A and B are shown apart, each in its own frame.
Chain A
Amino acid sequence: MSKNIAIEPLTRIEGHLKVETEVDNGKVTDVFISGQMYRGFEKFLENRHPVDAARIAQRVCGVCHEVHGVASVLALEELYKNPSPKNGNILRDMILGLHLITDHFLHFYTLSVPDFVDFTQILNYSGNDTNILSLKNWVAKTKPQFVLKRNQGNYITNTSTALGIVANYFQALKIRSMGASGIALIGAKAPFAHAILPGGVTTDITPDKLMYYHKVLEAVKNFTVNCYIPDVMTVAKHFPEYFKIGVSYNNFYANQTFKSLGNPLFKGGILLNGNKEKFSFENVKEYYDKSFYNAQGNPDPKKKGAYSWTKSPRYKGEAVEVGPLARMIVDGNPYFKKLMADMKAPVQSSTMARHVARAAECRMLLDHMYNLLDSYRFGEPTIHQVDFSRKVSGRGTGFSIAARGALIHQIEAQNGKITRYNMIVPSTWNFGPEGNGKKGVVEKSILGAPVAYSSENSIEVGRIIRSYDPCTACSVH
């Protein structure tokens, strides 16, 4: 007897998402994922000054706040034929890198850990650590509902293991705000760094700023190496079955990024049915068979058969997964492979592999960011200014990166006005509904998932979805 379980709203993600599943015999047999919020960002930009895109497109999402700024600026630089000097690119990569790492902290601790760790273990604490004691006191006396109300499921209940991760849950928030101050020092503020303009970065970089950045980097490194990576491994060891749950089509796509020093840190490309190919934009097509848009691409909330605001991009007609795992697999990253080998886990798409890929990526990024700091040259320009009054016509495309995957912004302008703006965003690739006759990436990975703990909710489905780090505001925009 099959049963319908709808999870709405899905919490601890960015935005509004609904998952409907058909469950039969304790397994998911059918699934529909709906993006539930639409604003019309691409329409807001039409008829505006091209450079406005740098500020408005950036605001499509407040979680991945710097990445859209960079992607739109790259598109604008192609439009104005005005690339940034090397220093400007280095500074942007410094902002992006710090953002990506601290975003992974947010994803793991704030968004994912509550699915795996029993926080109430803190009430059993009997040691002398004042930080943990004050947390215990806080939970016991104020009874915060956002912590105490949780889903039915299996959690890590060993007190000392759980407490270590719980303490880092709070520490992660502190490190994140420190990371944000590092971003703000170069980019003016975070979220939404205004110093990123086409042509480079406006900030006057002084040695003390880079020293502060270095200090932030050290703190982030310590947390990554001493807390984040070990905690990911602990969770992975407790839930090895998740190396086989949440498997997508195993098609991957990543953009070539972090190339301010010449060689890109992340190689780009497509892995399609086991074959690696060079990415070519001509093979990308956005479908909206099951999305709330009419044939002209305009919003149509009453469309029959549609169930999501998200569109379905396909590469050569196939649904491809994007994100840190895609980057690691397309890159063939040895450190990631080693971590997976330590776990005796297959290098393939899975819930836990996505967590491990983020951990590996942070380590890789950190090494690179120290190189970036060393490569910055004082006295050389950080920006080649764009002449804002030029009535520019043409087009530009920015290929960039978000914590959640590969990011593309496209701009077309006529006589100094935007005529078309298009964003192809990581969560669109992953969370798009059925398109071209195929289920979306995440839908595919939920099919067959076990549902064991509740008849009206599913912690397992939540875990799979969160492993993709969904950003629905981005995906629909």
Chain B
Amino acid sequence: MKMNRRQFLENCAKVSTLVFGSCVFTNEIAEGFTRLSESQRPQLIFIQSQCCTGCSISATYGNEEDFIDFISNIVRLQVHPNLSFSQGVDYMKSIEEVSNSGPFYLVCEGSVPAGMKEACIFNDVPMYDYLHKLMKKAAAIVASGTCACYGGIPASNQNVTGAIPIDTYMKRQGVNKPLIKIPGCPINPDRLLGTVAYIVATGKIPELSGGVPKKYYPDLIHNQCGRYQAFNQGHYTKNFEKEKLNCLLKNGCRGPVTYSDCPTRRWNGKVNVCIESNTPCIGCIHKDFPFKTALYLEEESFKDMTWSEMKKQLEK
């Protein structure tokens, strides 16, 4: 199809809205998608370690982005443990074939048990001993979800299995590949699909801050919060039934320490987001999630919190 420049740019904006949501990366992708004939689209392999599949389920739900659009227009989804039609030996063969056939991106879900390696077995060997071989063939690696990025729940409390996040795992196994982290419990679909689409379109890794794409995690939730005015005026929620619009800070809201665009990106077709449902942010994107202190804090335990100083300052 022939296009003039104007049509082309219009097209890019459309694609950008379609895949990234709200034209996040419009300018950067201007070149990218023209190259993408169907058979050249990069391949995608998903692999799951100590995970709950929540991130994959979230991806299929979509938000601004649509999963079917994503797999039919942006990438070639080749292997996914919950979607692949094959099983057992045939499934292993398809991983082999795809990973040897050309560049692919590897999306990792879940943490890897390093202490008790038997706690995650894949094709009769510990995931710990298998995963790095696949990683070494990948063009880039995406850590999808808080468990893969920071260890998350499996690495919390007593960390019975010695669970480690993907970056630690890569260091231990000597895997030197570009890594992008998409934290969230679960991931917001836009952030995973959008980031992958960005890499596909531009051939570049998006600007990262602490390994995380800056555009999706630009500022503290607190600073973008729809209830910021309530906070400014000191209207706090004491009772979830009676107050429906007040600041949830004193119920333990982790918005003041969590970097994310949740308040504007929203969830599930943009219908809602935690704070709007009158329930505090629990910081599921935070690197310390699920935290050592109680998720819904009682006021007297504020002093134990990692953000106690900030809170004191805010209350001054």
A residues adjacent to B (C-beta < 8 A): 6-16, 18, 34, 36-41, 43-49, 51-52, 55-56, 59-63, 65, 110-111, 114, 119, 134-135, 138, 141-151, 170, 173-174, 176-178, 180-181, 183-192, 194-195, 197, 199-200, 202-204, 212, 292, 299, 301-302, 309, 381-385, 388-389, 456-457, 462, 473
Contacts and interface: CB of A to CB of B under 8 A. Distances in A.
A457 B39 contact: no
A333 B270 CA distance: 38
A403 to B, nearest CB: 13
A44 B85 contact: no
Contacts of B239: 385
Interface in B29-59: 38-39, 41, 48-58
B291 to A, nearest CB: 9
6 closest A-B pairs (Cβ-Cβ)?
Answer: A62-B54, A40-B160, A49-B294, A188-B277, A301-B118, A184-B268
A389 B82 CA distance: 41
B272 A52 contact: no
Contact of B268 (A6, A148, A174, A183): A183
A38 B117 CA distance: 10
B61 A385 contact: no
Given A59-B185, A65-B57, A188-B279, A46 B157 contact: yes
A473 B52 contact: yes
Of A18, A135, A145, the most chain B CB neighbours within 10 A belong to: A145
Contacts of B55: 62
A43 B97 CA distance: 40
Contacts of A45: 157
Of A10, A114, A134, A181, the most chain B CB neighbours within 10 A belong to: A181
B236 interface: no
Contact of B82 (A110, A302, A309): A110
B168 interface: no
A59 B88 contact: no
Interface of B: 38-39, 41, 48-58, 60-62, 66-68, 71-72, 76-94, 97-98, 113, 116, 118-124, 153-154, 156-161, 163, 185-186, 239-241, 244-245, 251, 267-269, 271-274, 276-279, 282, 284, 290, 294-300
A385 B280 CA distance: 14
Contacts of A44: 153-154, 156-158, 160, 290
Given A6-B88, A9-B122, A111-B82, A181 B185 contact: no
A187 B61 CA distance: 15
Given A138-B72, A151-B85, A457-B87, A389 B61 contact: no
A18 B38 CA distance: 35
A145 B81 contact: no
Contacts of A178: 269
Contacts of A148: 85
A190 B50 contact: no
Contacts of B122: 9, 16, 36
Contacts of A299: 116, 119, 160-161
Given A6-B88, A188-B267, A301-B118, 11 more contacts: A6-B124, A38-B161, A45-B157, A59-B185, A144-B71, A150-B85, A151-B85, A174-B68, A188-B273, A203-B278, A473-B51
Contacts of B284: 192
Contacts of B159: 40
Contacts of A47: 157
Contacts of A204: 244-245, 277-278
Of B38, B86, B159, B300, the most chain A CB neighbours within 10 A belong to: B86
A135 to B, nearest CB: 8
Contact of B294 (A39, A51, A141): A51
B94 A145 contact: yes
A37 B81 contact: no
19 contacts: A16-B122, A37-B50, A44-B153, A48-B294, A61-B54, A62-B51, A65-B57, A110-B82, A110-B83, A134-B72, A148-B85, A149-B93, A177-B62, A177-B268, A177-B269, A195-B278, A203-B278, A383-B241, A385-B240
Contacts of A48: 157, 294
Contacts of B89: 456-457
Contacts of A194: 274, 277, 279, 282
A194 to B, nearest CB: 5
B268 A180 contact: yes
A10 B277 contact: no
Given A14-B82, A62-B186, A204-B244, A145 B54 contact: no
A51 B296 contact: yes
A450 B158 CA distance: 45
A147 B296 CA distance: 44
Nearest to A45: B157
A177 B61 contact: yes
Given A43-B157, A146-B77, A181-B268, A203 B277 contact: yes
Of B72, B274, B277, the most chain A CB neighbours within 10 A belong to: B277
Of A48, A191, A382, A456, the most chain B CB neighbours within 10 A belong to: A191
Contacts of B82: 11-14, 110-111
Of B81, B84, B87, B90, the most chain A CB neighbours within 10 A belong to: B87
Contacts of B50: 37, 39
Contacts of B299: 389
A15 B119 CA distance: 12
Contacts of B185: 59, 192
